[in-house]
Structure 1
Amino acid sequence: MAATQTSTHLAPIAERADAPASLPSITAGDLTWRPAVADDAPALLDLRNTIAEADAEPYRETLEEITDLFDAPWRRFDTDSLLGVDAEGTLRAYGFVETMPGDTRTVRAFLFGGVHPDRRGEGIGRELFAWQLARGRQVLAASGKDLPARLGVFAEDDGPVAKLHLYERAGLAPRRFYTEMRRDLRDLAGAPLPEVELAGSLRLVPFSDEYDDAARLAHNDAFRDHWGSEPQTPEQWSRGRTAFVPQWSYLVVDDAPDVEALVADPDTDAETAAALRAGEPLVVAYEMAARFDEDFEVKGYTFGYTELLGTRRAYRGRKAGLAALAAGMRAFAADGMEYAGLDVDTANPSGAHGMYAALGFEVTHSSRMLSIEL
């Protein structure tokens, strides 16, 4: 409802997006440009990891992760991607524009791309980014969603200065900052994890498929008050799981929720209310974990990674999120992982920073999101 009220004071998205009638040409570097297709996954993986290594980024990708990008039905690679190939047929640059189908408060277009380190300084990145911005504006205008809108990029804080300057010259400004954190798990006897006793009808359970959609609904509720977050549809929720480790993931469920009170609460979303009326399980907190073996050598240690962590707003203060996180961290340690890892928005409104500090997490890396707000 809040998004609808805000949107009534905005000009139509087709006007605010200021989309060009045609897209700019890319002439720098004498490359041949075409949309990406699924068969490009191996070459795209090589390019992205080459860029990551050159820029000292703290992660690498796998072929499964790249292939998964092409499997998502909402991505339009035919219109929203470009690959730059040299005369020998080698991939030298790429650019994507991505929107998400679940956006209901702010309609967003994120821009991802890069140029091979050997081909930088030729103006390729500048022209490619101009194409991405123009296409992003077209995508926003065509969305038909008269909501606040955003063109956004992500950047490592210690990444190439030239890239940050490119974004800022194009009118994007820093809006959000993120920190990656780790916690040593090698001496749990000397630095133990908390033993959390859940009160009332709350119960900690391992992740299983029967709770999967209930976890999605919990996530959508937990992140409603987080800046930049949008609800995930079932198809979004089920994608991007090439590194997901169910046995490292834990949920807290309420076995006896006050259905009448929750359904009557105006903060309860329609999907949750329908699930409650149908007698479906109510997940109130979740910890969804992943394993990125390809990053172990880059970082210099093994780790389990908490990709998603949250607590329903009505259940905050009852240690449900802490119980799920501690259980996941114990699972990491039991499988020989040296550290627990996660990342967090520095302006997180749920008090997560205090919990992470109390658990012994330390900052290892930082990044930011820059955007044009429309």
Structure 2
Amino acid sequence: MNGLAERLKPPEVVSFPGSHLGLRWRPLIPSDLGAVADLIREVEKEDDAIFRTSSQEIADLALGHLKASPLEVIVGIAQDHGIVALGSVKVLTGVTEAAVAIVNAVIHPLWRGRGVGRSLLHWQDGRARQMLVEYFGAESTLQASIANWVDGHMTDRRRLYIAAGFYAKHMFQVMYRDLEGSEHLAPVPENIKICPMSEVSFSQLHRVHSEVFSDHPLAEARDFWWNRALEDYEDRWSFVALSDEGQICGYCMAGRSAESWIAHGRLEAYINTIGVPADHRGKGIASALISASTRAAAHDGMNRIGIDADLKSPTHAQSVYEHLGFVNDRTRVFYSIDQ
């Protein structure tokens, strides 16, 4: 395979979106975070976003300004309205199987339809190519991807990505089931016990998680799922399956998103990541783990519990979840340019 620079062909210079669009662009500085938080929350409410950006994630945008990670964030400022747009490019340093940059944009509804999104994505694409080559090296033979998640109902954004050369690489079905307060437990496989996740170390659990998703087509999503699970983690609703010898045979990390609770006014749990090592699949371990999380969340008074199903899963995850009472809600699409 040719080197990264030859495949990505990064431009020598990447300019900010043009001022002719009515906005002045500059890098984000820490004092912007309050205005950026207001913008993100207003936009996510307007767009009815499936998942909401946490305060931690918003604060982390300043890490690029501090040169603490390969992250670049710019803001678009309207003369009389302050910050009305934001664009970011982040290299995923935790992924070693591929060279991946995630792009993300937030644009106030009043500033859409003026070419801001298209111009911002052009800047993001150019910077992503430059940053990937800078971080991984011009001669790297790693598969390269520039990518982002888009909610399925956001048709304008999906059209924008497609017009820019992205393709729908993967799709996830968001599923929910209502909770009644007294859920039945699924049978536990022989020689397996379901235990609170606090009984194992997170370093050990992370190794199992990495193993479970090592051959997943979206290697770039592995750390995203893990970090999201850690941020929302609720120990009372999270469980591991252990063999008689103490080996981890599966795990189910559930949590609660404070931002979603505030935005929707609804108490719900969400299973952020679940995994069963290949040599333990087909035994009902995933069902037993989900059942334990569901019962625990119901006991704590949650109204419902959610999970997302990989529609390309070789384990037919969606069918398993349907059998456990989950029903389809909305979809998320992973768009990518692969080189």
Q: With structure 1 as the length reference, what TM-score do the two structures score?
A: 0.81
Q: CA distance change for structure 1 residues 335 and 238 in 2, over 3 Å: closer, same or farther? A: same
Deviation track 1:3-29 (CA, whole Å, cap 9, x = no partner) reads: xxxxxxx21111101100110331143
Following superposition, the deviation at residue 240 of structure 1 comes to: 6.9
Question: Which amino acid is the alignment partner of residue 25 of structure 2?
Answer: W
What secondary structure sits across from 1:47 in the alignment? Answer: helix
Q: Per residue, is there more strand in 1 or in 2?
A: 2
What secondary structure sits across from 1:354 in the alignment? Answer: helix
What secondary structure sits across from 1:350 in the alignment? Answer: coil
Deviation track 1:37-69 (CA, whole Å, cap 9, x = no partner) reads: 344332222111211122222343342342245
Question: Which amino acid is the alignment partner of residue 66 of structure 1?
Answer: I
What secondary structure sits across from 2:37 in the alignment? Answer: helix
What secondary structure sits across from 1:349 in the alignment? Answer: coil
Following superposition, the deviation at residue 35 of structure 1 comes to: 1.9
Following superposition, the deviation at residue 291 of structure 1 comes to: 0.7
Deviation track 1:306-344 (CA, whole Å, cap 9, x = no partner) reads: 001111111112222222221111111011011110112
Question: Which amino acid is the alignment partner of residue 197 of structure 1?
Answer: V
Compare 339-348 and 83-92 and name the one that shifted more.
Answer: 83-92
Following superposition, the deviation at residue 304 of structure 1 comes to: 0.5
Check the 8 A contact 2:226/2:273 in 1, yes or no: no
Give distance in 2, aligned partners of 1:345 and 1:368.
10
Q: Verify: 1:359 aligned to 2:324, yes or no.
A: yes
Computed over aligned residues only, the root mean square deviation of the Cα atoms, in angstroms, reads: 2.6
Give distance in 1, aligned partners of 2:63 and 2:199.
21
Partner residue of 1:146?
Answer: 141
Note the 1:1-374 alignment, pairs <5 A: 10-27=1-18, 28-68=20-60, 70=62, 75-77=69-71, 80-88=72-80, 90-142=82-134, 143-144=136-137, 145-159=140-154, 161-186=155-180, 188=182, 192-200=183-191, 202-208=192-198, 210-230=200-220, 237=226, 241-256=230-245, 282-296=247-261, 299=264, 301-374=266-339
Following superposition, the deviation at residue 352 of structure 1 comes to: 1.6
Give distance in 2, aligned partners of 1:209 and 1:66.
32
Compare 94-103 and 55-64 and name the one that shifted more.
Answer: 55-64
Flag structure 1 segments of 5+ consecutive residues without an equivalent: 1-9, 257-280
Question: Which amino acid is the alignment partner of residue 309 of structure 2?
Answer: V
Q: CA distance change for structure 1 residues 68 and 325 in 2, over 3 Å: closer, same or farther? A: farther
Flag structure 2 segments of 5+ consecutive residues without an equivalent: none
Give distance in 1, aligned partners of 2:32 and 2:44.
18
Give distance in 1, aligned partners of 2:219 and 2:76.
32
Give distance in 1, aligned partners of 2:161 and 2:229.
27
What secondary structure sits across from 2:201 in the alignment? Answer: helix
Following superposition, the deviation at residue 221 of structure 1 comes to: 1.4
What secondary structure sits across from 1:140 in the alignment? Answer: helix
Q: CA distance change for structure 1 residues 242 and 221 in 2, over 3 Å: closer, same or farther? A: closer
What secondary structure sits across from 1:108 in the alignment? Answer: strand
Give distance in 2, aligned partners of 1:156 and 1:30.
27
Check the 8 A contact 1:304/1:340 in 2, yes or no: yes
Q: With structure 2 as the length reference, what TM-score do the two structures score?
A: 0.89
Give distance in 2, aligned partners of 1:232 and 1:324.
20
Check the 8 A contact 2:239/2:292 in 1, yes or no: yes
